[in-house]
Amino acid sequence: VPELPEVETVANGVHERVHGRTILSVWTSGKPQTFKSPETEIAEVLTGARIAQVRRVGKTIVMTLDRGQSNHATQAEFLIHLGMTGRLLVSPHGTPVPLHTHAILTLDDTREIRFVDARRFGRLSIHQPTPPQRAKDNEQRTTNNYTGPGREPLTISPNDFIALFRNRRTPIKAALLNQSLLHGVGNIYADESLFRAAIRPRRQAARLTRAELTRLRAALIEVLHHAIHLGGSSVSDYVDADGVRGFFQLQHKVYLRTGQPCLDCGTPIKKIALAGRSTHFCPKCQR
């Protein structure tokens, strides 16, 4: 399953390859499960649009589209959620189209952006900004860019991070995975950051001290940045040809290391079920 660092790397890789290009035509597969917006709307919004930017929001890839007029109400965004097996490829025209291709955007330089998804948990949709005349007051004249449901773990301030967990009576592990609090933190990075912050996954979120939460935020950012950094070097492999298959695996300290000695103290790593997810921790290092 692509996690935040993989999605960030894919978004950056696709951005480098296609920003500034114009989409000339759109083909979609007609498989209803993949399309959260009607396929006719997707084709209509994308055709003729210039790709201003491709970025990551949570675990969603957001393609900002410029539709050629000075009126900023014509900006829309194409949202790509990779699901479990989704891949976003930038391919030269004429190369074989992989099985399970659900969308092809043909660019003005003849290359194609292809969305390929064998298991079809991925989703494609259009996000339209609220027209400015409907915005209530001018103070709130934001750009209406897609922001997703939760806060961005890489840029949230220490105080905002601490505030997220106030009054949260759930285990900290469950709170970290709660996408309406922080978006994009998956099981691996939750377990790894809790280990690095020396916090037990079952601890109640509201009972963590400011110092512990400060440590947790730093650990989370560190593991995410580390994975993004290492993933960046393999961009061309999977964006061009192999999807996310070749993506680097973080050197896990606890995740999937059940029964193996803790790398810091030698105690066997424990595995428990928490919030329906397998959870790995060191019973000695994490308190």
Q: Residues interacting with Zn ion, by CB under 5 A?
A: 262, 264-265, 267, 282, 284-285
CB of 208 to Zn ion, least distance (A): 19
Residue 27: its H or E element: strand 23-28
Nearer to Zn ion, 51 or 282 (CB): 282
- CB–CB of 29/101 below 8 Å? yes
- Angle CA(244)–CA(195)–CA(200) in degrees, nearest 5? 125
Residue of closest CB approach to Zn ion = 262
* Sequence-ordered list of residues with C-beta below 8 angstroms from that of 160, at least 6 positions apart, any chain: 151
Residue closer to Zn ion by CB (options 207, 287) is 287
Inter-residue contact 215 to 30 (CB < 8 Å): no
Cα distance between residue 199 and residue 208, in whole Å: 9
Name residue, tokens 């790894």. 192
Q: Which is nearer to Zn ion, 75 or 279 (CB)?
A: 279
How distant, in Å, are the alpha carbons of 14, 72, 123 from that of 52? 12, 13, 21
Long-range contacts of 143-146 (CB under 8 A, 24+ apart): 143/72, 143/75, 145/62, 145/64, 145/77, 146/57, 146/60, 146/62, 146/77, 146/79
What letter would DSSP give residue 2? -
Q: Which is closer to Zn ion, CB of 60 or CB of 193?
A: 193
State the nearest-atom distance from the C-beta of 190 to Zn ion, in Å.
17
| Shortest reach from residue 286's CB to Zn ion, in Å | 7
What six digits make up the tokens of 120?
């079809």
Round to whole Å and give the CA distance between 283 and 287: 7
Min dist. Cβ of residue 203 to Zn ion (A):
16
Q: Which residues carry out catalysis?
A: 2-3, 59, 277
**Minimum distance from CB of 265 to Zn ion (Å)?**
3
Tokens matching residue 126: 């259009």
Q: Which is nearer to Zn ion, 177 or 282 (CB)?
A: 282
Where does residue 56 rank: exposed (0-12), middle (13-18), buried (19+ CB within 10 A)? buried
For Zn ion, the closer CB: 227 or 285? 285
Rounded to a whole number of angstroms, the minimum distance from the CB of residue 42 to Zn ion is: 49
